[in-house]
Each structure stands twice: as structure tokens, then as C-alpha cells.
A = this chain, B = another copy of it.
Amino acid sequence: MAAERLVVIGGDAAGMSAASQARRLKGPGELDIVAFERGRFTSYSACGVPYWVGGDVEGPDALIARTPEEHRERSIDLRMRTEVTGIDVAGQRVRALDRDSGEAYWTDFDKLVIATGARPVRPELPGIDAAGVHGVQTLDDGQALLETLERTTGRRAVVVGAGYIGVEMAEAMLRRGYEVTVVNRGAQPMATLDPDMGRLVHEAMDGMGITTVNGASVTRILTGPDGRVSAVATADATYPADVVVLGIGVEPETGLARAAGLPTGPSGGLLTDLSMRVRGHHNIWAGGDCVEVLDLVAGRTRHIALGTHANKHGQVIGANAGGGYGTFPGVVGTAVSKVCDLEIGRTGLREKDAAAVGLRYVTATIESTGRAGYYPGARPMTVKMIAEYRTGRLLGVQIVGREGAAKRVDVAAVALTAGMTVEAMTALDLGYAPPFSPVWDPVLVAARKAVTEVRKAGSA
């Protein structure tokens, strides 16, 4: 009997984790694995690019978890700079284009993994393609930006967008010695937080010398006589710029899958079942930044591009495609980030998310410190907790503060997964010692206040 063939489209976290996991379960005699990657790198940490640009990390090699050669040593037929241009679902084959030789060919599959990732949102603005305007989603992007920085003598950087990538790039450019202006469409930076918590980020960025302009949509990128970027314009103002970084976010790269008739959700991401199989297709899986994931708190699918999810998807897909068993139950929406020494963590629903899915809620916001107040280095943190009206079920937590703030949301992430009430959370046995926490951990303080708010609202 001939070996089955598993074809993988996309050589980054989800795709190559799937390939590796499938290979662990089935040897080359049982399973051929062919993986296509249109770029020059495999299995790298895109999340590390801001730290490479900022000079904290030596790149790009340090950001590569596994090279093409390492994958090939595991008997994976990895074809680099080869783009899949079509999927023939009924015929069980994909069409590939070798970007160097120009050769195009069909490859049959028994099982298919779609891991085409996401592409940066790149608004159709006049001047967007000018020299000196850079995205930061890929290693190539990072390299190109660093080359621009080497050649640029001016010190004014404009970062467009104030989400995770935007604020991380603001830090990176600040560390490179630039005068940084962040142009942000939203009312506050970090739209993944409620505005009251986003305001704390804004204030902290101010304190670091980063100028943040909120409520400002870019209308055009201006260029100088040399064709290079010279400024970023909004309806109201013009911000001189020697370099522009686009940190506007990403959208699922699913043109290929949609052209093949595969189902996508409201965000344009592929829809899968709990085993990461594309809905309605027993032999096609999808994972990573090209899929929508089930938000366990909201009860609906969302698009979240995050390396940690992509790796988990890859493991699950590889287990299933390799004849084993695995499922991905969904996410609760945890994310952490930092801007210099400001830490930001969030999990679960924001107020507007809760309202959007029909949940009535109460909120509680408290201030505490990451260590016992008397212990050196105790720095403030603000914790906001959102709980369901009447039931008191935890719906979300947002934390903004200094050391120890970001990863404290993990406690809430587990509590959300377990469906805990804020009342149950007040009794959680969290680690206490003066260097690590006040005697009441900030999350517990927030839970106690949330209990009070739930009671007040319930009796009103």
C-alpha cells in the first residue's frame, strides 16, 4: 500500500507544528508530508520582530525556531518559496508555483492542512508604498525596516495604530532613539481594552515621551522630492516623519480557501470544528492566523492572530492528521503586552463585547500593587473585572500596571475557562509572599469588589 500524502500550505507555526506532530505519529513509510511555504523562512516568531527592531534581540536567526533544513531532517518535503495558487477540493490536489523557477504543478493530497496565516491590513492610502513606510509582520519586514533605519538620519517616527503591534513598535522606535508619534484611530490606545483602561496606557505612554494622537485616521502619506516619506497626514493635522511603521493589525489570509469554496466566518477566517477540521470536510484541517476560533466566553467565533494559538492548532491538527486525537476547545481571549515598563494584560470580554452578545454585567476597578506595599519595587497596578449580572460569573479582566501586571491575567484566564463566579474567585489560593504579592492578590481584591457590585446590582 502506498503511503498517504499530507499536504501542508504554509510553513510557519501552525503548518509546521502540524507537520512535525504528524511525523511523530507516522513515519515516512506510512505518511508522505509535503509542505509549501511561499516565503524564505519557516517556524519563526513574528511576535519577536518589535524586539529585534528595538535592539533587544539579535535577529533574524534568534527568531527562527526551526529552519527549513531542520524540518527536512525530519523527513518533511518542505518546498520553500513555493506558493500554492489553487486548491482542488474534489480532486484532492493543490496547484503550486515555484517563485524562483516559475514552474507550476499540481500535487495530490489525501489530507490537507491550510495554514496560510494572516496578512497585514494595508489601507489604500496615497503614499502608502513610499520608501520609509514599513509593516512589521514578517522577518522580511523587520529586515527592511532595520535597513531603512540605518540609512535614515532624521529621528522622527510615526507609528500608525495603537494596538499590540503599534505600542510595541512605539517602544522599539523609542529605544532606537526616535521621537515617536502614534497616530491612533480609536478613542484610546489598546482597543482590546475598555477605554477607561486604555486611558491608563495613554497616560503611561505620555510619561515615556511617546506622543499619542487619538481619534485620528490617516488620510495620506506625504513624500518628499526624493520620493521618501516625509509626513503622515490626518484630516486635522500633519505629522512629520522620517520613517513610518504600520501597526494596524492583520486579517485572515483566506483568498485561496474561499476560492476553493471552503467556509469562512464573519471575520473572513476559516471555520473549523473542535478537531480543527474545516467544517464539512473530513480530510482538510486549518489552523493558525487563517481561522476563526471559538470564544468560550462570548459563545461565538472570532479572529485572533496569535502565535500561541497557532502552535496549539498545529499540535491538534498534527495529532488528528497523524491518526491520533486532539481537540482545540477555544479561547478566552487572553493577551499580554508591554510598552517599556508598562505591562498590559487582558482576558475575556470587554464591556462592549459583553453587551454585544446579550450579557448584562457589572464592573469593578481597583488599584493595588504587584508586591506587598512595603516591599521595594512595589508598583501600582489597576485591575478591572467584569462579571455577569445576577450569576456573578466572571466575564473578563483587564490589568494595566508595572512589574507583575500582565501575566496576572492568567489566573483570570483559567477562572474563565472553568466558568468560575467572582465569589468563588475571592477564595482562590493564590501564592502570597511580600516580594510577589500583597496579602490580598490584586486579582482577589478586584474579585471582592466585583462580588459587592454583583450584589448591589442584583438587589437594585
Contacts and interface: CB of A to CB of B under 8 A. Distances in A.
A430 B375 contact: no
Contacts of A415: 414, 418
A166 to B, nearest CB: 14
A252 interface: no
A307 B432 contact: yes
A260 interface: no
Given A56-B375, A308-B440, A311-B440, A47 B334 contact: no
B51 A375 contact: yes
A291 interface: no
Given A57-B376, A332-B429, A435-B338, A407 B404 contact: yes
Contacts of A51: 375, 434-435
A337 B62 CA distance: 32
Contacts of A406: 431, 433, 436
A407 B437 contact: yes
A419 to B, nearest CB: 8
Contact of A429 (B331, B338, B441): B331
B413 A410 contact: no
A146 to B, nearest CB: 16
Given A56-B375, A436-B406, A430 B308 contact: yes
Copies in the complex: 2
Given A336-B431, A410-B411, A374 B48 contact: yes
A410 B428 CA distance: 9
Interface in A97-133: none
A164 B45 CA distance: 38
Contact of A62 (B45, B331, B374, B440): B374
Contact of A329 (B58, B312, B331, B427): B427
A249 interface: no
Contact of A333 (B58, B375, B429): B429
Interface string A150-185: 000000000000001000000000000000000000
A433 B345 CA distance: 10
Interface in A30-80: 45, 47-48, 51, 56-58, 62-63, 65
A347 interface: yes
A335 interface: yes
A408 B410 CA distance: 9
A378 to B, nearest CB: 10
How many A residues touch the partner, as a band?
35 or more
A432 B374 contact: no
A89 interface: no
A216 interface: no
Nearest to A307: B439
B307 A47 contact: no
Question: Which of the listed residues A334, A336, A411, A430 has the most CB atoms from chain B within 10 Å of its own CB?
Answer: A430
Nearest to A63: B374
Interface string A432-456: 1111110111000000100000000
Nearest to A311: B439
A417 interface: yes
Contacts of A57: 374-376, 434
A395 interface: no
A336 B414 contact: no
B407 A429 contact: no
Contact of A431 (B311, B404, B410): B410
A145 interface: no
A19 interface: no
A406 B404 CA distance: 11
A287 to B, nearest CB: 13
B428 A417 contact: yes
The 10 A-B residue pairs with the shortest CB-CB distance, nearest first, are: A336-B431, A418-B418, A308-B432, A414-B414, A62-B374, A334-B429, A331-B429, A332-B429, A410-B430, A336-B433
7 contacts: A45-B374, A47-B433, A328-B427, A331-B429, A332-B429, A338-B433, A404-B407
